[in-house]
Each structure stands twice: as C-alpha cells, then as structure tokens.
Structure 1
Amino acid sequence: MYTEHFGLKMLPFENVPDPVFFFDEGEHARIRQRITESLKAGRGLVVVTGSIGSGKTTLSQMIKSYFSSKLQLIWMAMPPVNRMDLYMFIARELGLTPSSTETVFVINEIRDALLKINSEDGKCMIIIDESHMIADDVLDAIRILNNLEEGSLKLIQILLLGQDELMDIIKRPEMEPFRQRIATLEMIGKMDTDRIKKYVSHRIQIAGGDDSIFSETGWEALCKAFGSGNTPRTINSLCDKSLNIAFERGKNAVDVDDIYDVAKGMGLSREVFHYRLELMKKGKDATSTKEHDPVKDETSPSAPLLTGDVDVTSTSSPDISKIDRKSLKIPLLVLFVSIVTFIMSISSYCDTSGSSSIMTCLQQLFF
C-alpha cells in the first residue's frame, strides 16, 4: 500500500462518500450552506442535481452531520416503484404498522407521527438518492408529503439527489405543481483546474500528507488532464492510480510520467501528452529534480513508453530527392497509359468512319 511510502495516515482518494474529506470550499460550500439553511428552517423540498461522481452523496452525508441527534433520518438509496411503496417505507421507518393500505389512512398515521417528532423538538428528513430514476407517481406522492404542515413549518424535510436527467423531468409542463413546491434547487457543476488543485491538496492534507507527494510536473500534468474541468470521482481515480504507480516505481513523488500512464487508460491523455512533449523538447526532467530519469520519447498520445534516450537536437531526415522520384513513378505510368488509350481510340474511330485519310478523320472529329 502506498500510504506508508508517502507518509499518509489513510488513503486520500477513495471513492466513498466520507464527510471527513468533504471539500467545503467554492461551489460545494455554497450549495451545502444553502441546503442546510433551508432544511434547518423547515422549508421542505430540496432538489440537488449533478453529473455522475460530482459529489452529491458526499454532500448529503455532510448535510446530515450538521443536524442534531434528534434528527429522524430516512434514507433511500433508490426511489421506490410507486407512491404506496414510498408511504409504507416511511411508515415503517417511523415505527408504524398502518392498519390500512388505503392512502389517506397511511398518510394520516404518518402525519401524526411527524407531529409527535416536531413536538419533541425533533426533525424528520428523508433523502432519496438516484432520483433521476423516479416515477411521476412517486414525485406526486412527494408533493403530497411536502404539503404536511404545522403552521408555516413543514413536518418532513425532503432531499432529492439525482443526475442531470432529474432536471429534465421536473422541467416538463405537467410537473408545474411539483416544481412550485421546491424550496431550494441546486446544480453541482464540474470543478475547474484551480479548484481541482485545491481539492487534491485538501484531501492529501486530510490524509496526513503534503503537496510534495506530487512533483511540479505532476501537478501541472494533473491540471492538463482536467483542463476542461471534471468531477471529484474522476479526479480521485486518477490521483489514486497515479500514487500507486509512483509507489510501484519507487518514486518519492508523482510526476508527469505517472499521470500520463494513468490518463491514457481514462481517455484524458491528450493535453498531458503535449505537455510531456514540450518538456522533452526543453530537455527538462519529468520530476523537476535530479533523482529521476528524463521524460522519454513517444510519437502519439497512445504510444507505449520507450526506454531509449532521445536526441531532440537531431536533424536527420529521409532523402527528399529519393522520395520525390519514387512518388512520380505512378503518375507518369498513368499518364502514359492514358495517352496510348487515347491514340488507339482515335485510330479505331478513323477506321470505321470511312475517311480517306487520317487528317480528314481528325478534321471531321475536332472541327
């Protein structure tokens, strides 16, 4: 394991929703603050969307930690199939055994249980993950649950987490009644390169390390790989694999070579390749230190690493005159065949035209 090699107390880039590693800066901090304030104020329905791996689940874990032990949390990893499944699941989580499966009776029992929780200064919150897979029937049930109130206070706080497709669902015209009841709507975007560097540094420090486990070229290559921005999950994967490769190679820091080798397998190598090529032309060390070998040569982003030294000042090139002579052979042959064919066609025409001479035939043909 590379943790001991790099002086880390724990793995810094595991793709699990751990609030300890939550990056509470920038957009994530702003969204976390808005959602927490909305839920604490009892405003009701909150919707958060974002692409795969954008940190929605980690965000929800962080939000949960802000509430007291009096919070009655109901967590659903997937949305239920229909509205009755949702009602019955909530009822069971609240310790209820509904005497009837009629919707109105189940909702009344849920309301009574929620009133009791709130009377004891408690809160009830339901979190539904993967909500982009939710059925319209269930969304309508959530709308009804959101209508359960005591004065101006919502009896149950609802947090829906889903991929960007969830936004497409709630934008449909028929979803207007549901859309009007959303208290807070947030969209998590990709991290830009500046935030990516801060994010990676943050996780390394939480794990007990420092920024030196990535060399100067390693940091730059990391930014090149994510030039158009990316999500925490992808960033974690690249960093974790790069650290593992650097460890296997006995290096003290991750450099451009390690980042590039991992980026190739993730489809992120194009800009890293050009950066390595630039370093090679300048004759710079991949690690920016004297302990490591220079950047090796290659001819394309997908080419394997070469182990031989490269003379970047070499001016040798193929004999251009030989290439030109070879390239002319085929066009000249085609031209010769075309001329012969043309002459034979004219001769055949003149033979069948009954002309008294070749000149007469040509005059008839062209004039």
Structure 2
Amino acid sequence: MYEDFYGLTRKPFSLLPDSSFIYPARSHIKAMHVLEYGMLSAAGFVVLSGEVGSGKTMIIRRYLLSRKDDVAVGLITNASQTFGNLMTWIAMAYGFDHRDGDYVSLYDRFVDFLLENYAEGKRTVLIIDEAQNLTERMLEDLRMLSNINNEMDQVLQIVLVGQPELLAMLRKPELRQFSQRITVHCHLTPLDLVDTTGYIRHRVSIAGGAPELFDDLACATIHYFSGGLPRLINLLCDVSLLYGFSQEQKVITFNTVVEAVEDREAGGLSPFTPIPDGWDRERLCLSMIESLDAAPLPEVAIA
C-alpha cells in the first residue's frame, strides 16, 4: 500500500521469517556462529533459546539455506504436547514412510535411515522448533534417540529451538540426564539501540528504499517501544510507514511512531512497552534524545 510512495520494491517489515532480510546484529551473529560450531563439532544436542520474536526461526532458516549436501536435515516446526507419536513426526520430517507404523517399527526404520546416511558420509540433523511445547516424556524419548550414536561419531544431532520456558523445563532435576548432553547453548538477546537502528535501515535498504527513511529519533523511539525484539520492531515500523503514508510524510519521525503506539494502546491490544503514566510527548521525546546522546549512532547505519 505504501511501497510506491516510499520507493520500495517490497514490504521491508513483513512478519514472515524471510532470511534475505537477515541483519548481522551482534547477538544474531553469535547465535549463527554457535549453531555452526555445534554442527561442525558434531555436538549431540544444541539448544537455541530466546524470547518470542527474537529471531530464532530466522537463524534456523539461514542455516537451512547454507547447509551443505552432506547434511540431511529434518525440521519439525509445530511441536506440541498434543501432536502424538514423536517418531511419526520424525518420519514425516525426513520424508520416509510412516503409515501404519507403531513407535517401535518407526524407530527401527529411523535407525536404518541414520546408518545409511552415516555409511554415505552424511550427517543427520533433527531440528525441533517451538521445543518449549514438548513434554518431559518427549524430551526423554529424544535423549534415548541420542543413544544411537556410536563411540566414535555422532550419527544424529538434535537442535532444540524454543522460548525461555524450554530452559526452565531443562533445569528440572528429573531432566538432568538430558541437560548433561547439551553440548552447545545460545540465548538470543534483544537488539540494543545501535543494532535496532542498523536493523531498520538495513531492511529498508534491502527493500530498495532510502536508509534514512526512519530518522535517528524515530529509530530510538522504535527501540524503546519494541524492547529491541525484531518481530515488534517489524510490526511498529510497518504501522509507522502506514501512518506516514496516510499523512504524506517522506520521513518517519518520533511523532509518527508515538502516534502508532498511542492508537494501538487505545485499542487495548498493544504488544509494545507502555507509555509511562504521566508522560507527555515532550517528556518522552527528551528521553529518546538522552538515549541517543548516551549511545550515538553511526552516520550511516546500513549493511
């Protein structure tokens, strides 16, 4: 709707995890390196955790696009406590026949699949997204699957991707045997002000727009209200562009962002940091200016 007005070739702030927009924020680069290390070092279990909207799925998709031919990857994206037989979902993830198979027969087929890959010099990786929804029994089943590995090599590597609730579950005493097998863990942290600004301007640039479409004060305000979470940054930037378009503003400013937040708060469905009680726009603006003074942005913040 606003793309032509701002000279954009596509929407820069879609909520879909498009890996072509990935921005090399420090926390994301660290997570990608940790994941790569876990894969190359044949770690048995790798855990990638982070808050809702922190970019976990984007990192996994980036790994899937960059993996080599000697890696067979199975991806389960809809982990749930109600999704039934874990082996059925594992079979579906790797695309082999799962019909009319009970747990034991599917387990035997999976072992054959792993050994065939191993004989061909391939590594097998199982990635489970939304892993915080797994039950303790399912995690125990995964631990037992890891026993397939022989004394010399990891035949199966398992990556669990989930929200902080996953970490809380893994800390339970009854899961200590599982936790002891986690070789690599990385927790994604929110973006700071500098990376938030770089993230915004990077995505605008990838979409064909001018990096300065959001001025510095607007970027600082978006960082404040989003808490540095990429999904909330995308949401607030998208709404701000719509508001800017409706008012024929060529540059997104502090007032545009605040208006978008105020309207969302008025509707009662705001996911953003609330405006402090008793604060008017002038006081909030001064607070954003202070944040810029404390963490000055580079003159050009684009990838």
Could you state the TM-score of these two structures normalised by the residue count of structure 1?
0.69
Alignment of structure 1 residues 215-294 onto 2, 5 Å = 215-226=215-226, 229-264=227-262, 265=264, 266=270, 267-268=272-273, 270=275, 276-277=281-282
1:64 corresponds in structure 2 to 64
Alignment of structure 1 residues 24-173 onto 2, 5 Å = 24-79=24-79, 81=81, 85-92=85-92, 93-96=94-97, 101=102, 103=104, 105-173=105-173
Work out the CA distance in 2 between the residues paired with 1:139 and 1:203: 37
SS in 1 for 2:85: helix
- CA deviations 1:263-289 (Å, max 9, x no partner) are 222354637x958415999xxxxxxxx
Answer yes or no: is the 8 Å Cα contact 1:45–1:181 preserved in 2: yes
Summarize the Cα distance change of 1:248–1:114 in structure 2 as closer, same or farther, 3 Å threshold. Answer: same
Summarize the Cα distance change of 1:153–1:279 in structure 2 as closer, same or farther, 3 Å threshold. Answer: closer
Work out the CA distance in 1 between the residues paired with 2:162 and 2:16: 17
Answer yes or no: is the 8 Å Cα contact 2:44–2:146 preserved in 1: yes
**Aligned length, in residue pairs:** 278
Answer yes or no: is the 8 Å Cα contact 1:83–1:138 preserved in 2: no
Answer yes or no: is the 8 Å Cα contact 2:201–2:214 preserved in 1: no
Work out the CA distance in 1 between the residues paired with 2:242 and 2:65: 32
Q: 1:169 is aligned with what amino acid? A: M
Root-mean-square deviation (CA, aligned residues, Å) is 2.7
SS in 1 for 2:235: helix
Summarize the Cα distance change of 1:279–1:140 in structure 2 as closer, same or farther, 3 Å threshold. Answer: closer
Work out the CA distance in 1 between the residues paired with 2:153 and 2:258: 54
SS in 1 for 2:127: strand
Q: 5+ residue gaps in structure 1? A: 282-367
Alignment of structure 1 residues 281-360 onto 2, 5 Å = none
Work out the CA distance in 1 between the residues paired with 2:197 and 2:89: 42
SS in 2 for 1:158: strand
SS in 2 for 1:147: helix
Answer yes or no: is the 8 Å Cα contact 2:193–2:220 preserved in 1: no
Work out the CA distance in 2 between the residues paired with 1:159 and 1:81: 18
1:205 corresponds in structure 2 to 205
SS in 1 for 2:219: helix
Answer yes or no: is the 8 Å Cα contact 2:45–2:183 preserved in 1: yes
Could you state the TM-score of these two structures normalised by the residue count of structure 2?
0.82
- Name the stretch that deviates more: 151-160 or 171-180: 151-160
Q: 5+ residue gaps in structure 2? A: 265-269, 287-303
- CA deviations 1:58-109 (Å, max 9, x no partner) are 1111111221244332221222548971123323535245886353x54333
Q: 2:188 is aligned with what amino acid? A: I
1:13 aligned to 2:18? no
- CA deviations 1:183-236 (Å, max 9, x no partner) are 21111122222221111112112112222212344234334435xx33111111
Q: 2:44 is aligned with what amino acid? A: G
Work out the CA distance in 1 between the residues paired with 2:201 and 2:285: 27
Q: 1:250 is aligned with what amino acid? A: E
Answer yes or no: is the 8 Å Cα contact 2:197–2:216 preserved in 1: no
1:2 aligned to 2:7? no
Q: Structure 1 residue 4: deviation in Å?
A: 1.4
Q: 1:113 is aligned with what amino acid? A: F
Q: Structure 1 residue 37: deviation in Å?
A: 1.9
1:346 corresponds in structure 2 to none
Summarize the Cα distance change of 1:91–1:256 in structure 2 as closer, same or farther, 3 Å threshold. Answer: closer
Summarize the Cα distance change of 1:136–1:205 in structure 2 as closer, same or farther, 3 Å threshold. Answer: same
Q: 1:270 is aligned with what amino acid? A: I
